[in-house]
Amino acid sequence: MRRIKLTVAYDGTDYCGWQIQPNGITVEEVLNRALSRLTGEEIRVIGASRTDAGVHARGNVAVFDTASTVPPERFAYAVNPLLPEDIVVVGAEEVPQDWHPRYQNSVKTYEYHILNREMPDPLRRRESWHVSFPLDLDSMREAAAYLRGEHDFRSFCSIHTGVKTTVRTIYTLDIDRSGNLITIRISGNGFLYNMVRIIAGTLVEVGRGFRTPENVRDILNAEEREKAGATAPPQGLVLVSIAYPERGGC
Residue 85 has pLDDT above 90, yes or no: yes
11, 14, 52, 98: the catalytic one is 52
- Between the CA of residue 205 and those of 44, 89, 211, what are the distances in Å? 41, 36, 6
Amino acid at 32: N
pLDDT in tens, 30-68: 999 999 999 999 999 999 999 999 999 999 999 999 999
| Whole-number Cα distances in Å, 90 to 6, 20, 50, 57, 72 | 8, 21, 18, 11, 13
Question: What is the structure's pLDDT at 247?
Answer: 57
CB under 8 Å to 129, separation ≥6 — which residues? 112, 113, 114, 115, 200, 232, 233, 235, 236
**Rounded-to-integer distance, Cα 173 and Cα 206, Å:** 15
Query: What is the per-residue pLDDT across 168-193, written as a single tens digit (0 to 9) for each?
Result: 999 999 999 999 999 999 999 999 99
Quote the mean pLDDT of the chain: 96
Give yes or no for a contact between 27 and 87, defined as CB atoms under 8 angstroms apart: yes
The gap between the terminal CA atoms of the chain, to the nearest Å, is 23
Q: Which residues pair with 173 in a beta bridge?
A: 186
pTM: 0.95
Q: What is the Cα–Cα distance from 57 to 119, expressed in whole angstroms?
A: 26
Number of Cβ within a 10 Å radius of residue 242: 20
Share of the chain above pLDDT 90, in %: 94
> Is residue 238 within 8 Å of residue 13, measured between CB atoms?
no
- Per-residue pLDDT at 161: 64
- For residues 242 and 106, the answer to whether their CB atoms sit within 8 Å is yes
Active site residue 218: no
| Distance in angstroms (rounded) separating the CA atoms of residues 157 and 194 | 6
Question: Does residue 47 contact residue 62 with C-beta atoms inside 8 Å?
Answer: yes
pLDDT at 199: 98
